[in-house]
Amino acid sequence: MSNSILSNNELVSKFFEENNLDFYYTKTAVKHFKEFVVATSSKGFTAKTTDIAEFSVNHRTTIGHFLSNGVWDEKYIDRIIKKEVTHFMLKTFLILP
């Protein structure tokens, strides 16, 4: 298994809980999303399902099937990302608490 630049997977879980992703998405989808976040932050990530499979109990074909046939609303995740990026930028560049 490759090393992730995220030192603590609990931070990823906390982020998902704080943003109520389990309310909007199935347990399976949230599990896959968490694996994707950890995998994309790993050294040597090349955006292939084999990279994600290294951080998953699922085979790469299962991950591919989820990506091809999974159903989820991207708008909610978009809003979360925009909110977090805006907060980060304001905090970093305008020195907000």
Name beta bridge partners: 42: 4
Q: State the chain's mean pLDDT as an integer.
A: 79
In a domain, 1, yes or no: no
Cα distances (angstroms) measured from residue 16 to each of 2, 64, 76, 86, 91 = 22, 22, 12, 18, 21
Q: Which residue has the tokens 């292939």?
A: 48
pTM for the whole thing? 0.67
In a domain, 59, yes or no: yes
- Domain hosting 58: range is 9-71
Q: How many domains does the chain have?
A: 1
Q: pLDDT at position 1, please? A: 47
Read off the pLDDT of residues 49-87 as tens digits, 9 standing for 90 and up. Answer: 887 888 777 788 888 888 888 777 788 888 888 888 888
